[in-house]
């Protein structure tokens, strides 16, 4: 079956530091890939997505590139802010209507 | 405002006492689903519905029921809750092929 593995947190950074959160996946076929963000006390929000190999999703300074050769979709941001503190989930959707989520990575950004 | 609403937001109950968590969306979305979020496990889909009167099991359906009598509503029913159903629950909706919109979550404690 499908699976998503993302790095364990928490990831703790200072403001303006570079962020990478690793995500790798296992799936049959050609899934769509997603990053969601969950702020404290809220539901998940879609951050960015990519639907085919070599696509780059981007939003709010975050980027991730769909790498089929390495089955990866790593999340990056060049300069994090305190307001980016949240839990980030990598997810994939294949042909079924049952998405697969990673376990989530908590990001803490200090001033 | 386009949104997914859930009620109640917090619930404490006892083993065996039937409960219902309501979910409603105002975006005329065909597709709705329920997830549970547990520490270290990410989100797992419980049930989903592709349209009125059409529901199907997700990854973890045991102990739950759903119904979809109207397009906007998708209640989650726990006929006989048990402590292992203590969790954070999210409802979500989407248009066919569109992005998912998540509700704010319902935190359930079963004693």
Percent of the residues in chain B that have a pLDDT greater than 70, as a whole number: 100
Say what the pLDDT of residue A94 is.
Answer: 82
Whether B61 has a pLDDT exceeding 80, the answer reads yes
Confidence of residue B96 (pLDDT cuts 50, 70, 90): confident
Whether B88 has a pLDDT exceeding 80, the answer reads yes
Is A46 in CB contact (< 8 Å) with chain B? yes
Say what the pLDDT of residue B24 is.
Answer: 98
Between CA A15 and CA A110 the distance in angstroms is: 6
Say what the pLDDT of residue B51 is.
Answer: 92
Cβ distance of B45 and A45 shorter than 8 Å? no
Say what the pLDDT of residue A74 is.
Answer: 98
Say what the pLDDT of residue B52 is.
Answer: 94
pLDDT tens-digit readout, A31-81: 999 999 999 888 999 999 999 999 999 999 999 999 999 999 999 999 999
Whether B20 has a pLDDT exceeding 80, the answer reads yes
Between CA B37 and CA A60 the distance in angstroms is: 25
State the average pLDDT over residues B95-106. Answer: 89
Percent of the residues in chain B that have a pLDDT greater than 90, as a whole number: 89
Which DSSP state fits A79?
S
Say what the pLDDT of residue B19 is.
Answer: 97
Whether A97 has a pLDDT exceeding 80, the answer reads no
Between CA B50 and CA B40 the distance in angstroms is: 29
Cβ distance of A43 and B4 shorter than 8 Å? yes
Cβ distance of A97 and B31 shorter than 8 Å? yes
Percent of the residues in chain A that have a pLDDT greater than 70, as a whole number: 100
pLDDT tens-digit readout, B62-81: 999 999 999 999 999 999 99
Most A CBs within 10 A among B21, B32, B42, hence the mutation to make, goes to B42
- Whole-angstrom CA distances from B25 to A106, A109, B48, B55, B100 are 28, 33, 14, 16, 12
């Amino acid at each position: 079956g499908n699976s998503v593995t993302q790095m364990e947190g928490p990831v703790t950074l200072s403001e303006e530091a570079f962020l990478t959160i690793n995500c790798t996946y296992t799936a049959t076929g050609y899934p769509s890939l997603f990053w969601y963000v969950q702020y404290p006390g809220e539901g998940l929000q879609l951050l960015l997505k990519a639907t085919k190999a070599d696509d780059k999703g981007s939003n709010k300074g975050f980027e991730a590139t769909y790498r089929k050769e390495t089955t990866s979709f790593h999340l990056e941001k060049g300069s994090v802010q305190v307001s980016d503190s949240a839990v980030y989930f990598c997810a994939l959707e294949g042909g079924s209507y049952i998405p697969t989520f990673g376990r989530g990575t908590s990001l803490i950004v200090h001033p | 405002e386009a949104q997914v609403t859930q009620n109640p937001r917090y619930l404490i109950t006892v083993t065996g006492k039937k409960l219902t968590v309501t979910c409603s969306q105002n975006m005329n979305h065909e597709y709705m689903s329920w997830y549970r979020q547990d520490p270290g496990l990410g989100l797992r889909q419980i049930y989903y519905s592709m349209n009125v009167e059409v529901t199907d099991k997700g990854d973890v359906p045991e102990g739950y029921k759903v119904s979809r009598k109207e397009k906007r509503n998708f209640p989650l029913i726990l006929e006989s809750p048990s402590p292992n159903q203590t969790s954070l629950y999210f409802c979500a909706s989407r248009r066919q092929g569109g992005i998912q919109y998540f509700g704010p979550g319902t935190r359930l404690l079963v004693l």
